[in-house]
Amino acid sequence: MSFALRQQLNKFVIAAVTVALLSISPFTTPLAGATTKHATMPPTCRPAQLRPSMSPPKGTYSTSAGFKATLWFENTGSTCTLIVDNVPVQAVNGPSHTPVGVGSLSGTVAYPPIVLANGDRAYANVSISSISTAAFKKMVREHGSSCAPKYAEGIEVESNPAVRNDSWPSHYFALPDRVPICTKDYFNVATGVIQKLLTPAQTRQAAYQRAANELQDYLNYWHLVGPATASRRFLVPGQRNGTVKLASGKVLTYHPYSWKSANDFTLLMTLELHFEGWRGAWNDGRNTRLVTFTRYSHGQPLMALNTGP
């Protein structure tokens, strides 16, 4: 099947299938204020300079959990720009790698490109959902539809020959077992959005930027809906109160103060605040606070704002 034909088929499947079989990784939202300066970006990564691999080497598979693995792409050449999208993957069979079913679907969100220096790596999750679960069988039965599965022996990252300097290197990976692929009313091959593997320092900086965005969100809510409602959403239980009305608020600067983990760290933050009437313990204008960000689960982090340690 040609790349163009597969893309047309993908579009048809998206339009025709209303029930999603896959638990596809959700699209992430770029950090607030992030901008893309295409004019200053390095050249697009060439397929020949990206070394693909998969971990585990053949992934993991069971009839109940399906297939899961992580695809890796290491830049072996000069600094380049990797276009961010879902990695195009097709299940294949036989020595000629004949396509089976519908390949993974591209996203529709415009993400900021990733710059990879020599030795940098990017990754994306790939999965083939199980068609053996009771939930899937019930869904097929209730919708009067069919998966019409065929077996695949491998997956192949697909490059697009119609796009000059396309980033993706075409590469074949063997599956740990013969895996059923839907060929009719459902698709069950999925990949996540490509992400850059960050160094520990980059991971911290990204966490700090997200935290600054979170505090700015709190200030916006404080102004729009009042202190009580905003504090219940953003602050730790002991600080969920107050009657001070905020006219405007802006995060000016942030500096690392302490770090325990990505789920528990403190920043020294400078804020520009203006109030309507009584301002309590705040200054009208510049304010400095130690803000601790703590996440107790996979949800939104909670903040504690203090004047000192």
Sequential pLDDT tens for the chain (309 residues): 444 444 444 443 333 333 333 333 332 333 333 333 445 889 988 888 999 999 999 999 999 999 999 999 999 999 999 888 888 899 999 999 999 998 887 666 677 888 999 999 999 999 999 999 999 999 999 999 999 999 999 999 987 554 555 667 889 999 999 999 999 999 999 998 888 988 788 889 889 999 999 999 999 999 999 999 999 999 999 999 888 999 999 999 999 999 999 899 999 999 999 999 999 999 999 999 999 999 876 667 899 999 988
CA distance 145 to 12: 16
Rounded distance, CA 201 to CA 222, Å? 32
CATH 3.10.450 given to domain 200-306 = yes
The whole-angstrom separation of Cα 271 and Cα 305 is 12
DSSP code of 63? T
pLDDT tens string 43-84: 988 888 999 999 999 999 999 999 999 999 999 999 999 888
Q: Using CA atoms, how far apart are residues 5 and 16, in angstroms rounded to an integer?
A: 16
Tokens of 16: 């025709």
pTM of the predicted structure, to 2 decimals? 0.61
Would you tell me how many other CB atoms lie within 10 Å of the CB of residue 293? Answer: 22
Residue 305: closest CA among 282, 284, 285: 282
Helix (H) or strand (E) holding 98: strand 98-99
Closest C-alpha to 109, from 189, 28, 206, 54: 28
Coil, strand or helix at 148: coil
Task: Report the C-alpha dihedral over residues 108, 21, 25, 63, rounded to 10 degrees.
Answer: -140
Give the pLDDT of residue 10.
46
What is the location of CATH 3.10.450 in the chain?
A: 200-306
